[in-house]
Amino acid sequence: MEIEVAFGCILRELRTNAGLSQEELANQSGLHRTYISLLERGLRMPSLSTIFLLSKPLHTSPHEIVLSVSKKMSTG
């Protein structure tokens, strides 16, 4: 599994678990909703600063996001 796809799966899972729409996540993180959609579909690679911006509204740490992506890549 490609890292972009794994990140997208984890981002979507974290967002839905937090009860947020893409638009709500975008507003709370300061990112554009279209960019959130591209990330979730594995069409964009997030920067480190993007991961930090997303972590707060998702109520998780950047470390946990990266760790979840790593686990997802090894399990498929």
pLDDT over 80 (residue 76)? no
Torsion of CA 26, 29, 32, 36, to 10 degrees: -60
Beta strands in 1-76 (DSSP E): none
**pLDDT tens for residues 8-67?**
999 999 999 999 999 999 999 999 999 999 999 999 999 999 999 999 999 999 999 999
Q: Model's pTM, two decimal places?
A: 0.95
Give the model's pLDDT for residue 1. Answer: 84
Give the model's pLDDT for residue 18. Answer: 97
Q: For residues 17 and 1, what is the distance between their CA atoms, to the nearest angstrom?
A: 22
Domains plus CATH for the chain? 3-75 (1.10.260.40)
Q: Provide the token pair at 1.
A: 């599994």
